[in-house]
Amino acid sequence: MLTDALRDPLPRGSLGVPPAPGFAPAGFEIRQRMLVARYLAPAPQPVRPADVDRWARAQLDPARGAGGAALLAER
């Protein structure tokens, strides 16, 4: 089970569900207590930041989901 720098476990399988249809998990890392999860799509896809935030609140435990999520795009 994945843990953050404070050793608080994430819910089992929480990173296996992509934040939007058409994306697949592409790895994760922890940077100074911040979880960075990557998801890739085979082609550019529109994703609304509000949908990513909703995903974080649903997939992560309430304490982490309360912090929300950020969406970064790479071309």
Gap between the Cα atoms of 10 and 59, Å rounded: 9
Please report, in tens digits, the pLDDT of each residue of the chain (75 residues total): 344 445 566 777 888 889 888 999 998 887 777 778 889 999 988 888 888 888 887 877 666 655 656 666 665
Write the DSSP assignment of the chain as a string of letters.
Answer: --B-TT-PBPPTTTTTS-SSTT-EEEEEEEETTEEEEEEE-SS-----HHHHHHHHHHHS-HHHHTT--------
pTM above 0.85, yes or no: no
Number of domains in the chain: 1
Domain boundaries, position 33: 1-75
Q: What is the pLDDT of residue 71?
A: 64
